[in-house]
Structure 1
Amino acid sequence: MKWMSKKTVLISFFIVSMLVSSFGSAYAAANLEPIKAFFNRSVSFVLNGERWEPKDTKGKPLSPIYYNGTNYLPVRALAEALKVPIDLDASGQIIYIGGKPGEKTPIFAVPMEIDNIYAVSTKDPAETLVKDTQFKQILKIDQYGDIVFKIDRKYKRLVLNAAVISPGEHEVEFTLYNAGEAAGNAAETALEMHKVSPDDPVTQMVFNVEGLEKVKIHVQSHLLNPYIYARIVDTSYFDNGDSSSKNP
């Protein structure tokens, strides 16, 4: 009986470890099919009129794989370049491109710009009690104000929950604008507008934000100057639900 050398054992163990870490399970191995392909290092890319080089998560340049007459790029590099969200469900072997259906991102988890004068964020319990419901955080707009969200085309909808509290006396308009740098003159065009009355409970408004990089919500009474006491509450969120949904 021949004994394997220590070096052989170590090499064998390394190969087994690599196989286990690569395939994870017998199921994964059974569903991976070997192919003969090549890295195509002669291809260059132009994205939206500018030269673009795909890179991995560590910033290392990537070359497309050429197989059977077609060039293939890693889906993550391409999705990030196109500013499309991408997620992997490793257990179910599902790659979500464009966001997971039903997943909600609270508005306070999204990059936001406010002036802290006309639009103010607060966690003060005395301020976050809205229509007899205690929230953890709100945006309060007592006269008029703008809230700008940087969403990088990641979402289809903004679901905004808001109310007008006492002593508000006027109906309040919540208007959506395209605040992206490429919007140009179109940034002055209202894309969508909903109204909330002081008599209404906390009201849910659904805005279509699909394909937009930055959006602005302008809050104001149609009478322009009076105090309105509008409150946007922390149950508001962005998601990738059906952008054609109507307000409840």
Structure 2
Amino acid sequence: MIVQIERDLQEEINLFIKLKRKIKLKLKKNAIISSITLAFILGGSLGAKADSVLESISAYLDHSIKIKLYGTDFALKDSEGNKLEPINYNGSTYLPIRSVAEATGMKVKWDEESRTATLEKDSIVLANTTDKSGVKISIDGLWSPTYITDVKKIYSNWYMGVQFETTTIDKYGFKDNISRKIEELKKHSRIIEMKEIYVGDLKGTYIDREESDARIKMVFIESNNSDEYFTVEVFIEKSKYSDENNDAFDRVISTFARYR
């Protein structure tokens, strides 16, 4: 009887050891898979610099997480269409940048030399159309529409935006309309610079101004007809205005064109 009990106990111990080894092997496998997924998270190879920049970690593939994109179920996939899983590491969830970015309309560029991932969008064309004219500008960057009509477009991100508008001129004419606009702006803005410029072959009034929370550069452009004028405005959050985006307005206004 004692011998049988000892045999049963030994079998349970052996079973427990096997189970423990199996669990440990599974966790180790998940950690290895997670490391591989992290290494290839951008869809590219590790490259020659891998040994010097990569750090081994223990992480887990989290099969329980569901992702919705604009209310629709979304499956993470690599550039080859293979399914990917979210990674759980130290209580935080990590998603593959390329899969998420491209699903939201952004492109991901990978520079192996500097090991830099760049997210960007193609140029967006904003066009205003009336019975009298058709004009357009192009904008680059991670901006989304916040206001869209046939004659007015506003695109913005978390600190910068652009407004493009076609406005009907009342009976007082272009110069009087713009003069009244400027007087209104002076009530809540500090005018830094104001001058006459040409945008292509059209004359315009350029204004660089500052408000309590934003730096704004704009131009009122006289149309080739007497019934309307065009406004192009770039606004940047005051705390984010710097040399890096100082020429944002110039880049936008350089794309202004008439298409009819």
TM-score of the aligned structures, taking structure 2 as reference length: 0.38
Structure label with greater radius of gyration: 2
TM-score of the aligned structures, taking structure 1 as reference length: 0.40
More helix by share: 2
Question: Which structure is richer in relative contact order (CA contacts within 8 A, separation 6 or more)?
Answer: 1
